[in-house]
Amino acid sequence: MPPKIGVALIGFEYSGCELHAVWYKNIPEINLVAAVDSNVERARKAAERFGAETSTDDWRKIINNPAVDVVHVNVPPSLDKDIAVAAAGAGKHILCEKPMATNLKDADEMIAAAEKNHVTLMIAHVLHFFTVDELIPEIDRRGGGHAAVLGITSGVLAPLLLMSLI
């Protein structure tokens, strides 16, 4: 079995705690190395709940941890650039939640840092490969009639709502 991928998840508000960490816990190839949150108690509880090896309220404390392969940035966009650039400088791959940055200059700096350090920078977009236009032909095929978009929803339950239609 190949070695596990070490992940430091930074940001344990709702999506970090109820989505990302839950998914990581259920992927056997992932080792949640660090739970990081500006609220040290929330970080500690997340580490306990999801089996992270360590917790802290300062992302700078884990950025050079050799067990960390990927830094998952799940913080307000105004904080993304500093974390991503530091992670790239430490040779870590970066998964950054959307939006990537609050301005083009910061986004360009993130890209340049990743390129300079030969690491992957990926912007997470949960529904990137789940588009309504792919579902309409399937709805039409199953219903035998014509499908039309009456409204669009987004959020955590959107894929489940749409899948219930087909």
Between residues 123 and 162, the one the model is more confident about:
123
∠ CA(83), CA(85), CA(93), 5° rounding? 85
- Asked whether the predicted pLDDT for residue 150 surpasses 60, the reply is no
Query: Which of 13-17, 32-36, 121-125, 144-148 has the weakest average pLDDT?
Result: 144-148
Query: Quick one: which of 127, 124, 80 has its CA closest to 103?
Result: 80
- Asked whether the predicted pLDDT for residue 144 surpasses 60, the reply is no
Q: Is 81 helix (H, G, I), strand (E, B) or coil?
A: helix
- Asked whether the predicted pLDDT for residue 32 surpasses 50, the reply is yes
Percent of the chain with pLDDT over 70: 75
Sign of the CA dihedral 88, 56, 53, 20?
negative
Confidence category of residue 166, pLDDT binned at 50, 70, 90 = very low
Pick the CATH number of 5-124 from 2.60.40.10, 3.40.1010.10, 1.10.3720.10, 3.40.50.720: 3.40.50.720
Query: Which of 5-14, 19-28, 110-119, 131-140 has the weakest average pLDDT?
Result: 131-140
For the chain, what percentages of helix, strand and coil (3-state, to nearest 5) are there?
40, 15, 40
Mean pLDDT (the chain, rounded):
84
The domains of the chain are located at: 5-124, 132-163
- Asked whether the predicted pLDDT for residue 37 surpasses 90, the reply is yes
Tell me whether residue 155 is exposed, middle or buried, using C-beta atoms within 10 angstroms of its C-beta: 0 to 12, 13 to 18, 19 or more: exposed
Distance (Å, whole) CA 9 – CA 6: 10
